C-alpha cells in the first residue's frame, strides 16, 4: 500500500537523517528502487515528473504499476508515490489517480499566487491524507525543458508557505538539477540555516541530489534537510552499465539481445546508486 510521505519525513527530521526521492522512468527503474529500499529496510519516495508521467502513459498506469509491484515483490517498507515539480493541474490529476504525495511547484509565480494555489492544495491534500511539497525559490538547471537559475529562497517567503500547513518544503539554496558545473560555488548553508530557523520542524527538501559531495549532504541534513531528490545519477549509472554491456558485445552472444538480459546490468547499476545514496542519507533500517 502506498503511504503519505508525512510520517517518514517527520521521523527523518527528528532522527537527523533524510529519505531519498528517486525518480522513476519505467518498470526497471521502479523495480530496482523498490527492491533496494526493501533490502536496506529504508522508507522510500518514488518521484514522477510530469514528463515521465506522460512517458509512462499517464498517472493511472503508474499507480497500477507501483501498487502491483509492491504486492508482487512483497515490499513492506513505507513507499510514497510522489509527483515531482507538479503544476497545479498536474497535482490535481495525480491526487485523482491515486498518488500518495504531490509536489506543487509554484516557485515561478509571484509569491502571492504561489501562496494562494498552495493553500488550495493544502486543503485538498489534507482531506485525502496525501502529503504536499511546496517550493520557494527555483532550483537551477534544466528539468522537463524548464531552466531555472538556481536562486536562494527568501527565508520569510519560506515561512509564509510553511505556515500554510504543507508537509515538506523545497527551497532553493543554490542547488541545480543535473550535473553540477565545475565552477559551482556549492550549497548556500547560510540560506538553509536561515530557512530552518524560520520554519522550525518543517522537513526541508534538497533537490538536485546528483553530484552533491558527501560532506555537503551531511551538513544539509544537520541543518534540517529530511528529503533528498536524486534523478540524473541513476540515469548516468544505467547508461554507463548498458554502454559497457553493448561495447563488450554481450548483446551479440547467445540470447544477449533479450531485453531481460540487455537491461539487467543497467538495472543493477541503479540498485548500486540507490544503495549508496540510502547509506549516505542515513535512512537504512529506518523503515
Write out the residues near ligand 13P by the rule CB under 6 A. 23, 47, 84-85, 177-178, 207-210, 229-233
Q: Which residue is listed with cell 544539509?
A: 220
Q: Evaluate whether 53 touches 90 at the Cβ level (below 8 Å).
A: yes
Residue 269: count of CB within 10 angstroms of its CB = 21
Pick between residue 82 and residue 286 the one whose CB is nearest to ligand 13P.
82
Pick between residue 159 and residue 207 the one whose CB is nearest to ligand 13P.
207
* Minimum distance from residue 175 beta carbon to ligand 13P (Å): 8
Pick between residue 31 and residue 207 the one whose CB is nearest to ligand 13P.
207
Q: Which residue is listed with cell 500554510?
A: 164
Q: Evaluate whether 161 touches 133 at the Cβ level (below 8 Å).
A: no
* Minimum distance from residue 211 beta carbon to ligand 13P (Å): 7
| 105 carries an active-site annotation | no
Q: Evaluate whether 45 touches 101 at the Cβ level (below 8 Å).
A: yes
Residue 276: count of CB within 10 angstroms of its CB = 15
Pick between residue 98 and residue 211 the one whose CB is nearest to ligand 13P.
211
Pick between residue 47 and residue 282 the one whose CB is nearest to ligand 13P.
47
Cell of 150: 538556481
Concatenate the DSSP letters of all residues of 92-134 into one string: HHHHHHT-SEEEE--TTS-HHHHHHHHHHHHHHHHHHT-EEEE
Go through 195-220 and write b for each residue having 16 or more CB atoms within 10 A of its CB, e for each that does not. Answer: bbebbeebbbbbbbbbebeeeebbbb
The catalytic residue positions are 84
Amino acid at each position: 500500500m502506498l503511504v503519505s510521505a508525512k510520517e517518514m519525513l517527520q521521523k527523518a527530521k527528528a532522527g537527523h537523517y533524510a529519505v531519498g526521492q528517486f525518480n522513476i522512468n519505467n518498470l526497471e527503474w521502479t523495480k530496482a528502487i523498490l527492491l533496494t529500499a526493501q533490502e536496506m529496510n529504508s522508507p522510500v519516495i518514488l518521484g514522477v515528473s510530469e514528463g515521465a508521467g506522460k512517458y509512462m502513459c499517464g498517472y493511472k498506469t503508474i499507480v497500477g504499476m507501483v501498487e502491483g509491484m509492491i504486492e508482487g515483490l512483497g515490499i513492506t517498507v513505507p513507499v510514497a508515490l510522489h509527483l515531482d515539480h507538479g503544476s497545479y493541474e498536474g497535482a490535481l490529476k495525480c491526487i485523482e489517480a491515486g498518488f500518495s504525495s504531490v509536489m506543487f511547484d509554484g516557485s515561478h509565480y509571484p509569491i502571492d499566487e504561489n501562496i494562494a494555489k498552495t493553500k488550495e492544495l493544502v486543503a485538498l491534500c489534507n482531506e485525502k491524507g496525501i502529503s504536499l511539497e511546496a517550493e520557494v525559490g527555483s532550483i537551477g538547471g534544466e528539468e522537463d525543458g524548464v531552466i531555472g537559475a538556481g536562486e536562494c529562497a527568501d527565508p520569510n517567503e519560506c515561512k509564509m508557505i510553511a505556515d500554510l500547513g504543507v508537509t515538506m518544503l523545497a527551497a532553493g539554496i543554490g542547488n541545480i538539477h543535473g550535473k553540477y558545473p565545475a565552477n559551482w560555488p556549492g550549497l548556500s548553508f547560510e540560506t538553509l540555516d536561515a530557512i530552518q530557523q524560520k520554519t522550525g520542524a518543517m522537513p526541508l527538501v534538497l533537490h538536485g541530489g546528483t553530484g552533491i559531495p558527501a560532506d555537503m549532504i551531511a551538513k544539509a541534513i544537520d541543518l534540517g534537510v529530511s528529503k533528498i531528490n536524486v534523478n540524473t545519477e541513476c540515469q548516468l549509472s544505467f547508461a554507463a552499465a548498458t554502454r559497457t554491456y553493448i561495447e563488450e558485445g554481450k548483446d551479440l552472444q547467445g540470447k544477449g539481445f533479450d531485453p531481460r538480459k540487455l537491461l539487467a546490468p543497467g538495472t543493477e547499476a541503479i540498485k548500486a546508486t540507490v544503495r549508496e545514496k540510502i547509506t549516505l542519507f542515513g535512512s537504512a533500517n529506518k523503515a
